[in-house]
Chains A and B, each alone.
Chain A
């Protein structure tokens, strides 16, 4: 960011424009720097306003004539799961889940009518931060790459690890994660997992949790379409598929997870 301001200063952006439209948390943080170093006034736009408008705009323009919005059909069936376009002509109401370093969840009722429902601090930053600490990786891409090669079931304790199979009393399938990182309580198991496994478990933990909070919000707000956007999902097919799967499975098909090509 300082480099960008520096560039703006060198290229004399200010002679062309005196104001720059900006959004995001950094717009506030770097406003002073823009003014003093770049001689630019920032026209700070509300981050969420921008987000909502952006989502709706992108979809209205479309993606090479195709719908910008898509979903996964048969997300609970690995064989038959496929990405299909979704027509967002009547988008409202929708739940917008923006996964950046943290997560914001908005309920959007019309072009101008939306509210922030809740948020969680367990977001992309948590995945990346924990991966750095656990694996020593240094980029988000690296963390995702490791995750794609790992096996989270070595790290997590599954329902079947505790009950030997499904927990029928509560209708819990044996493959469900009972305790994220639960196997890591034991020293032997800590010594036997790879960095890839840990990265994968971190990704699964964060993603499942976002899915679970989004699902609860959708139920509370009585909305059945959930659009997931944000940096975290960039090149992150594992999370998108998992979100689609988790939402479908736990809502018994009542909720649909949607994604955007150009989020």
Chain B
């Protein structure tokens, strides 16, 4: 972890004696190509692109023709190496620059790299050092251009990148939903001075104003007034001071509020208006506070005036004045609120410090077209947002002077919004915000901690032939445990904390230690068993009357969801007597009326309405769920004349069925079932991938191919099943077409929260308002 970085190093001089934990900071350096560096006043940000070898589990169908298939596995699983692209960003203090350059030099195998893109004020100062150490030619890029390129990139690719700051609420950081259209916006960069830039598109931006009263004024004037040299110390002073001792307030002038002007008595009438005397001493804290207010208010006012003139309501703030400092985020937020009368919101970025490096990197990587891809933050390799209140957090002290990292994985396919979302700009996938809800946060963090040993064990067991599986499983356990502890301290570290983000982080950590699919064998077995029961399930369904059958189909969908692979007793039953297990599951279901029950409306809709044109179904688990629950339901829809798009995860997550598994399963079902067979042949049944590897579902980041198909086929029904996709996420998602959300609640805490008991059923049929 980054915390171990360069602690205990000296200040001032370039300290070569620090020891870097190389594998943990400059990761994948041997595969690195293309570097960029952003050297600021005190921090250096290094960016590089690397290729990462991943282990991935692949499935391949056996040729079953003419063989007795009863005693053979359904398909073959192999673990292969896959190469993916990753972006690495590392932030460290300028003091370490020489050591870091030496380290990079020693580990740089790829000799194709000739140039390093550089930006930031320090790029000039360190140019010779970089060229000498790395033997690369320094190619300087414009600071603002890089900043804006970087800003566009994070706004587009990192969920929960943007947050508003709220000091006096339970959560200081209020993360914003990514708006599908990021333009236009105003970027106010507060470095030593202030630049106000209007950004209208990827390549179109314009400097519309600025101010010389910025971070340098706070620092320079602050140093003169208080004899305090360091910026951080000045901020510390300011956070303790009382500006009213130095500033002249409206009430000092008027004796109270000024009614005719509508000004409150506490407003500052004149900054430093009380210090107009030579014979009074003022405290350093009070002067620093007054200065901070003066500068923040002034910047806020100018930003609002520019926003008004250009009719913009999104203002992002960045620069060293802001960089993670709660004190300045607070005063800027206050100022924007005051001057815009609440019409404009001051917004901040989680990776603000990296914008220049990201932009410089992108400038140098244009031939790789990074903007054509979607990228995802790798939680396993990123440090996350650290350090809030300087006076609160001891973590901050150890953190400053160490290394901070961000890693972005290139996703194979571009991700887009589901076209059926009613309002993509307000869609929030997650049902409960754990950053906001302390009770829920404690519960789920504990829940994930308690499950961790089991997950590590299963991971090790999934690779019985590997000699180091135990060791890697332990490393995984340690890494995820540390992440959970970080999140207890700083719930906002990776944006809004949710059950989804906890699950995704776990998947990232598993991947990190080459456990690409711990459930692959379990899924294989379960799929094989369930397939054997398919025909008898269909026969019994077909023997029912129409209305009875509809109910049985829905129960089947729900039953597949009852059992989780955590329950050993259950898996035994499933293995020995799958058919019995399925029936057993059905009997466990809550009797109607369910906890959320709009089944009657659904039945009515099927009975009275015309068949749906096309249904999009998001599948959940492998085995019984997909084969005995989802497929009979799909078959019924097809028989009604409804086309079906079946969407499965691109990559593995828990025992969820993956797209490649679904292909094999479907092929086998088609061999048994004429309805499925002809639907596949006639392209009435289409299998697609979601673009995701999460047990949850973010409808704003779905595979582009899926989105295209959904539009082409005029999809008018969306079915989402399972706890992860229909309860932890999307429970409140509003769609433009009919939707079914169904799940069995397998967690008593969550059931209790929703006002029910364990195994309560959620059956939510929604019709969009006309």
Contact = CB atoms under 8 A, between A and B. Distances in A.
B294 interface: yes
B276 interface: yes
B214 A179 contact: yes
Contact of A121 (B254, B297, B308): B297
Interface string A120-152: 111111101110111011100000000000000
A169 B225 contact: no
A205 B246 CA distance: 19
A192 B681 CA distance: 84
Given A120-B298, A208-B212, A125 B223 contact: no
Contacts of A104: 261
Contacts of A128: 276
Nearest to A162: B121
Interface stretch (A5-13, A14-22, A25-33, A73-81): A25-33
Interface string B509-539: 0000000000000000000000000000000
A138 B277 CA distance: 6
Contacts of A122: 213, 271, 294, 298
B342 interface: no
Given A180-B213, A209-B213, A209-B298, A172 B207 contact: yes
A220 interface: yes
Contact of A29 (B210, B255, B297): B255
Contacts of B142: 169
Interface in B250-282: 253-256, 258, 260-261, 267-279, 282
B145 interface: yes
Contacts of B254: 25, 28-29
A171 interface: yes
Contacts of A133: 225, 272, 275, 282, 287
Nearest to A100: B270
Interface stretch (B104-112, B299-307, B476-484, B599-607): B299-307
B50 interface: no
A66 interface: no
Given A121-B294, A180-B216, A130 B339 contact: no
Interface in A169-185: 169-172, 176-185
B270 A121 contact: yes
A212 interface: yes
B216 A126 contact: no
Contact of B144 (A120, A169, A185): A169
Given A48-B261, A125-B273, A169-B142, A101 B248 contact: yes
Residue of A26, A122, A205 with highest tally of chain B CB at under 10 A: A122
B620 interface: no
B636 to A, nearest CB: 62
A217 interface: yes
B212 A190 contact: no
A125 B270 contact: yes
Contact of A184 (B223, B261, B277): B223
Interface string B131-153: 00000000000101100000000
A156 interface: yes
Contacts, number: 189
Nearest to A156: B212
B302 A129 contact: no
B212 A129 contact: no
Contact of B207 (A121, A125, A171, A177): A171
Interface string A26-55: 101101000000000000001110000000
Given A182-B217, A184-B223, A101 B269 contact: yes
A116 B217 contact: no
A102 interface: yes
A181 B273 contact: no
A126 B209 contact: no
A138 B273 CA distance: 13
Interface string B295-330: 001100110011011000000000000000000000
Contacts of A177: 193, 212
B305 A216 contact: yes
A219 interface: yes
A179 B212 contact: yes
B192 A178 contact: yes
Contacts of A123: 270-271
A203 interface: no
A236 to B, nearest CB: 16
A134 B225 CA distance: 7
The CB with the most chain B CB atoms within 10 A, among A28, A134, A180, A208, is that of A180
Given A136-B278, A137-B278, A157-B193, A121 B212 contact: no
Interface in A182-218: 182-185, 187, 190, 198, 205, 208-209, 212-213, 216-217
Contacts of A31: 255
Most A CB contacts (10 A, CB to CB) among B145, B209, B216 go to B216
B182 interface: no
B224 interface: yes
Contacts of A130: 221, 272, 275
A125 B209 contact: no
B73 interface: no
B211 interface: yes
Interface residues on A, range: 35 or more
Nearest to A138: B278
Nearest to A127: B272
A60 interface: no
Contacts of B211: 209, 212
A2 B420 CA distance: 73
Nearest to A177: B212
Interface in B173-203: 191-193, 195
Contacts of A82: none
A179 B306 contact: no
B240 interface: no
B219 A216 contact: no
Nearest to B278: A138
A254 interface: no
For A124, A157, A182, A198, which residue has the most chain B Cβ atoms within 10 angstroms?
A182
A132 B308 CA distance: 36
Contacts of A46: 260
A87 interface: no
A41 to B, nearest CB: 17
Contacts of A101: 248, 253, 269-270, 273, 276
A3 to B, nearest CB: 18
Contacts of A124: 270
Nearest to A49: B260
A118 interface: yes
B191 to A, nearest CB: 8
18 contacts: A25-B254, A26-B253, A48-B260, A100-B270, A116-B261, A120-B298, A122-B213, A124-B270, A136-B278, A162-B121, A171-B207, A179-B220, A180-B217, A182-B212, A185-B220, A187-B229, A190-B224, A216-B306
Interface of A: 25-26, 28-29, 31, 46-48, 100-102, 104, 116, 118, 120-126, 128-130, 132-134, 136-138, 155-157, 162, 169-172, 176-185, 187, 190, 198, 205, 208-209, 212-213, 216-217, 219-220
Sort A-B residue pairs by CB-CB distance and give the 7 closest, nearest first: A184-B220, A129-B272, A125-B270, A179-B216, A182-B216, A125-B273, A181-B220
Given A138-B277, A182-B216, 20 more contacts: A47-B260, A101-B269, A101-B270, A102-B273, A118-B301, A121-B268, A121-B270, A129-B275, A172-B207, A178-B212, A179-B216, A179-B217, A180-B213, A181-B224, A182-B192, A190-B224, A216-B305, A217-B305, A219-B309, A220-B308
